[in-house]
Structure 1
Amino acid sequence: MTSPAPYPVGTPGQPWGEAEVAQWRARQMRQRRYDTLVEPRIKALADHFTLIPYGALDYAGEHYPLYALANGPVDPALPSALVTGGVHGYETSGVMGALEFLETRAADYAGRVNLLIAPCVSPWGFERINRWNYDAIDPNRNFREDSPAGECRALLALVAGHGAPFLLHIDLHETTDSDEDEFRPALAARDGKAYEPDTIPDGFYLVDDTKNLQPAFQAAIIAAVERVTHIAPADAQGQIIGSPVLQRGVIAYPLASAGLCAGLTGARFTTTTEVYPDSPSATPEECNAAQVAAVCAALDFALGA
């Protein structure tokens, strides 16, 4: 078996320093625009939702305002739900699915739930089609109070200022072929570890919380999404991306202790969606629709619980 070529940044076996991060950063070219593809759609929704600027990121002269949308002032008599997209900026349907939910379905929940939606948590990563932020930090491992990632600190402050506990948090993600081609090799190189090849699951799956398993909730989302796109099967070891499959299309991580976005609220119902956009049978529209279906199913289940 041929060993994979060394990652083009750094020295194998040695963690990166500032020089290697700078070399990695120089390779990240802007490939799309947050201010033309995302910001205008967010601002257009201000006619129907409350627009909440919750901070900004400034990276080497590039300014990224951060926005959330709410369906009105917090009503203490109603439960609250958080929807996040674009924590990994390259995962396109996380961003577009959150926006499509706002544009097409969010109004259906008026008077039933306090919605708070952050469609694009990591705009620098969105533009570079990258998993990490400007500092080669993965936001989705750093949701803690002392986070080194500005994306995480801003979202934590937004959630803390909401003023009511959350019943639900659904975090919209993708697992892509580039995870294996680029991002996992980059992670191993950054940390000075050997890269161990893995496989990419073919289909949609969910990540539950090992500290708060909600199997019926996860199953309801899988059932809804299956009407839109296919569900990832377990591999020969009964796993998906190295984790045991607990039920069809569902694995689990310790969300809060791992610093994952879906663990930041302590909500009763939490999940991370993982859409597979590289399937030959999937289209961008199908991937966005799968995210919308997941959000609606999550809300319907939680509100009926």
Structure 2
Amino acid sequence: MSNQAFYPIGTPGQPWGAAERAEWLARQVKHRSYADDVLRVVDGLRDAYDVAQYGELSYGTEHYPLLAVRSRDWRDGLPVLVVTGGVHGYETSGVHGALQFLQQHGRDYAGRANLLVVPCVSPWAYERIHRWNPDALDPNRNFVKHSPAGESAALVDLLEPLRDIALMHIDLHETTDSDESEFRPALAARDGKSFEPGEVPDGFYLVDDTDQPQPDFQQAVIEAVAKVTHIAPADARGEIIGSPLLMPGVIKFPVKQWNLCAGITNARYTTTTEVYPDSPRATPQQCNDAQVAAIRASIDYALAHPNG
């Protein structure tokens, strides 16, 4: 099947050039407010946490301050635990789950750990409910030094001092029906490739690191989330999104090779959550709660097993 059957921009078999990217950008519409949904909430956390701006994105006339929330009692020697959300702006529960965790549970770890939470890595995409940034780049394939994606470059620079001391990093994502209806077809069109339809799993799952698997850690997170929402089953091939199932609800990717967010540091424990918000069996609040449960289980396991 040709790209044209699935996506209205570009010529089948030919990667996008500047004209196609400009056409794509012109179609993007702002649907919600980063200032209202994220910055306002973070401002309400300043009495309990240290909030710092680690960068700013400027796209035309729009400017987005990038904020990180840290434990107020940050102390050398305490375990460093990293939480990131909103790498893909359309994956809503990643952003709101990170904020909910800070509001309800972050202070539970005061004096026990150094928390660093970045609730919305990609604010332009958050406002447009999109996966890419304005340059049609996926931040979650570009977490490298001097990245062409400003969102990715800023986060890499923020985490560089923690690269070898972070104990845990959980990156909060969603898998949505729009992955198949919009984002994967757009990717195929952008790159001049044929689109091959896939299957969206119904439920929560995790992505482990191929090069440093931590099955007991992943299992602990799955067990915690299963109390909140359902875990995605494998498809007829025993896979989730084309990857073999390692255990119920867990697959693996080479996170550093693919320049994914969870591979920025050398943390012992890393995972990427995938919530399914389009399921008839899950509400938006359940999706947020699932992200919070995953964060808490990741932290609790890492603190209980700091040396593996």
TM class by smaller structure:
over 0.9
- Cα 1:192/1:3, change in 2 over 3 Å: closer
SS in structure 2 at match of 1:144: coil
Q: After TM superposition, list the pairs within 5 Å mapping 1:191-270 onto structure 2.
A: 191-270=191-270
In percent, how many aligned pairs have the same letter?
A: 61
Conserved in 1, the CA contact under 8 Å of 2:45 and 2:103? yes
Conserved in 2, the CA contact under 8 Å of 1:76 and 1:164? no
Choose 1-10 or 120-129, whichever is displaced more.
1-10
Shift of 1:163: 8.3
TM-score (norm 1): 0.98
RMSD (CA atoms) = 1.5
Shift of 1:146: 3.2
Residue 302 (structure 1) aligns with: 302
Conserved in 2, the CA contact under 8 Å of 1:82 and 1:117? yes
Aligned-partner residue type, residue 296 of structure 1: R
Shift of 1:2: 11
Q: Distance in 1 between matches of 2:70 and 2:301?
A: 20
Conserved in 1, the CA contact under 8 Å of 2:84 and 2:172? yes
Residue 151 (structure 1) aligns with: 151
TM-score (norm 2): 0.97
Conserved in 1, the CA contact under 8 Å of 2:142 and 2:149? yes
Q: After TM superposition, list the pairs within 5 Å mapping 1:1-305 onto structure 2.
A: 5-72=5-72, 74-162=74-162, 165-305=165-305
Shift of 1:3: 9.3
Shift of 1:74: 3.4
Conserved in 1, the CA contact under 8 Å of 2:121 and 2:155? yes
Q: Distance in 2 between matches of 1:202 and 1:270?
A: 23
Shift of 1:276: 0.4
Choose 290-299 or 67-76, whichever is displaced more.
67-76
- Cα 1:198/1:281, change in 2 over 3 Å: same
Conserved in 2, the CA contact under 8 Å of 1:51 and 1:68? yes
Q: Distance in 1 between matches of 2:303 and 2:119?
A: 22
Unaligned 5+ runs, structure 2? none
Unaligned 5+ runs, structure 1? none
Conserved in 2, the CA contact under 8 Å of 1:147 and 1:153? yes
1:213-244 C-alpha deviation (Å, 9 max, x unpaired): 00000000000000000000000111000000
SS in structure 2 at match of 1:47: coil
Q: Distance in 1 between matches of 2:44 and 2:265?
A: 28
SS in structure 2 at match of 1:179: helix
Give the total of aligned pairs.
305
Conserved in 2, the CA contact under 8 Å of 1:84 and 1:118? yes
SS in structure 1 at match of 2:186: helix
- Cα 1:163/1:43, change in 2 over 3 Å: farther
